[in-house]
Amino acid sequence: MAVYNYDVVVLGSGPAGEGAAMNAAKAGRKVAVVDNRPQVGGNCTHLGTIPSKALRHSVRQIMQYNTNPLFRQIGEPRWFSFPDVLKSAERVIDKQVASRTSYYARNRIDVFFGTASFADEQTVEVVCPSGVVEKLVAKQVIIATGSRPYRPADIDFHHPRVYDSDTILSLTHTPRRLIIYGAGVIGSEYASIFSGLGVLVDLIDNRDQLLSFLDDEISDALSYHLRNNNVLIRHNEDYERIEGVESGVILHLKSGKKIKADALLWCNGRTGNTDKLGLENIGIKVNSRGQIEVDQHYRTSVSNIYAAGDVIGWPSLASAAYDQGRSAAGSVVENDSWRFVNDVPTGIYTIPEISSIGKNEKELTQAKIPYEVGKAFFKSMARAQISFEPVGMLKILFHRDTLEILGVHCFGYQASEIVHIGQAIMNQKGEANSIKYFVNTTFNYPTMAEAYRVAAFDGLNRLF
């Protein structure tokens, strides 16, 4: 058994692990990263964010081709299979792996591929695919092992027609009808992807509203456009059992309904990847979803062990995970790069996409904060008209007395890009956070960003 000594060992090479490793290495620490795949990138690159967003982009292009009158002059609408569009995602994954591998090499970070577990608080044992065991001794360890789809014991995920958000990437055909159980972010995104390919989708939601953490108006818009694309949304439903048959899957609901489809995609929750870490050897406990509790400095109950990313729970976003990992390493190296990551925009890659930051109308009303609303509809924006992307809206919520921006909510083309302009102004101190910024600043024309100026004038015109 070979023994290696490091200042910091990072478990996992997803966004949180990469952020932690890079920050520690930049601070002059000797760093090693362990991943259970033979390639870096974590679930984000191989199973989650990258493949699903690449799939979405391809489907969006197909939908635009099939609905744009300009393309009808070239030929008839085309049908693409799920495996066809998956090929584009595979190309992106390969490029991401190559880029991220070079980051570790440039920063002299050692990468071990194998299954890691704690022997004690400062020793990590790595079982390599060859069976060889490597022992890594470190002053500090950062756990960034991510998460995987939650799998209830009463569902047979070995059935060839039952998938979760990881195994769906191995789908070799395009179902005519698909049940998606779980209408959270992942379920809603895949409902958009499959319906865009012409699949009839039954989206089962155990709540009474899609993505209820969103502004109500944005949630309603998403529901409308999913339904408009042949997604049947069933609210307030819970499964009783899932029956796999030779020709597909039958979903039995507690309400007495039965739904049959060619396949079922389970998208109901995630579990932290902690079960193989040997946490019982060091006294760290996890909750019912396998997640580790940390303090605001991302330190666990063991003083030299930190955790970041999906393995700690909220907000379970790649963007936040990277910053959490970087901040965990900042706590370790004490180089003033630590911050508690709570200023996180939502980025939901449905078709059309959604992004928001700050408070929504319901929250402001409940808090009795006097706010006003400014809106810009994309159908009136020149750039959206040029791009054949008329669906969408930018909504700014601001304090009617101080003009401070309290929330930004966007639905439509480039929403996840547009939101960052509002985020930048919201983060300014004092009077610099003002909706007047948007009327006193010249925006390029035509752009989607110009929606801020239109929305600001709309909101200011409501004041008296």
Q: How many CB atoms lie within 10 A of CB 456?
A: 25
**Residue 450 maps to which CATH number?**
3.30.390.30
Q: Which domain holds residue 235?
A: 162-268
* Statement to judge: residues 373 and 231 lie in one domain: no
Whether 187 has a binding-site annotation, put simply, is yes
Q: Report pLDDT for 261.
A: 98
Q: What is the largest CA-CA distance in the chain?
A: 76
Q: Which one, of 35, 17, 32, lies nearest residue 325 by Cα?
A: 17
* Statement to judge: residues 103 and 132 lie in one domain: yes
Q: Which one, of 348, 362, 410, 86, lies nearest residue 192 by Cα?
A: 348
Position 199 in a domain: yes
d(CA 170, CA 334): 43
Residue 321 near residue 44 (C-beta atoms within 8 A): yes
Q: Report pLDDT for 72.
A: 77
Whether 186 has a binding-site annotation, put simply, is yes
**Residue 195 maps to which CATH number?**
3.50.50.60
Residue 221 near residue 214 (C-beta atoms within 8 A): no
Residue 326 near residue 341 (C-beta atoms within 8 A): no
Q: Report pLDDT for 76.
A: 81
Q: Report pLDDT for 70.
A: 79
Q: Which one, of 132, 99, 121, lies nearest residue 9 by Cα?
A: 121
pTM above 0.85, yes or no: yes
Whether 189 has a binding-site annotation, put simply, is yes
Whether 271 has a binding-site annotation, put simply, is no
Q: Report pLDDT for 337.
A: 87
Whether 39 has a binding-site annotation, put simply, is yes
Digit-by-digit pLDDT tens for the chain (464 residues) are 789 999 999 999 999 999 999 999 999 999 999 999 999 999 999 999 999 999 999 999 999 888 888 787 877 888 889 999 998 899 999 999 999 999 999 999 999 999 999 999 999 999 999 999 999 999 999 999 999 999 999 999 999 999 999 999 999 999 999 999 999 999 999 999 999 999 999 999 999 999 999 999 999 999 999 999 999 999 999 999 999 999 899 999 999 999 999 999 999 999 999 999 999 999 999 999 999 999 999 999 999 999 999 999 999 999 999 999 999 999 999 888 899 999 899 999 999 999 999 999 999 999 999 999 999 999 999 999 999 999 999 999 999 999 999 999 999 999 999 999 999 999 999 999 999 999 999 999 999 999 999 999 999 999 99
d(CA 303, CA 250): 49
* Statement to judge: residues 186 and 326 lie in one domain: no
* Statement to judge: residues 372 and 444 lie in one domain: yes
What H or E segment, with its residue span, contains residue 19?
helix 15-26
Q: Report pLDDT for 192.
A: 97
Whether 53 has a binding-site annotation, put simply, is yes
* Statement to judge: residues 303 and 317 lie in one domain: yes
* Statement to judge: residues 285 and 141 lie in one domain: yes
Whether 269 has a binding-site annotation, put simply, is yes
* Statement to judge: residues 167 and 38 lie in one domain: no
Whether 38 has a binding-site annotation, put simply, is yes
Number of domains in the chain: 3
- Among the candidates 268, 292, 320, a domain finishes at 268
* Statement to judge: residues 261 and 241 lie in one domain: yes
* Statement to judge: residues 241 and 118 lie in one domain: no
* Statement to judge: residues 143 and 16 lie in one domain: yes
* Statement to judge: residues 51 and 137 lie in one domain: yes
Q: Which residue has tokens 């014991």?
A: 153
* Statement to judge: residues 44 and 77 lie in one domain: yes
Position 343 in a domain: no
Position 410 in a domain: yes
- Among the candidates 268, 287, 310, a domain finishes at 268
Position 59 in a domain: yes
Distances (CA, A) of 108 to 5, 22, 101, 104, 261: 14, 10, 11, 6, 50
Q: Report pLDDT for 71.
A: 81
Position 341 in a domain: no
Whether 35 has a binding-site annotation, put simply, is yes
Whether 40 has a binding-site annotation, put simply, is yes
Residue 180 near residue 165 (C-beta atoms within 8 A): no
Position 156 in a domain: no
Task: Write out the two tokens for 1.
Answer: 């058994």
Whether 44 has a binding-site annotation, put simply, is yes
Q: Report pLDDT for 73.
A: 80
Position 425 in a domain: yes
Position 363 in a domain: yes
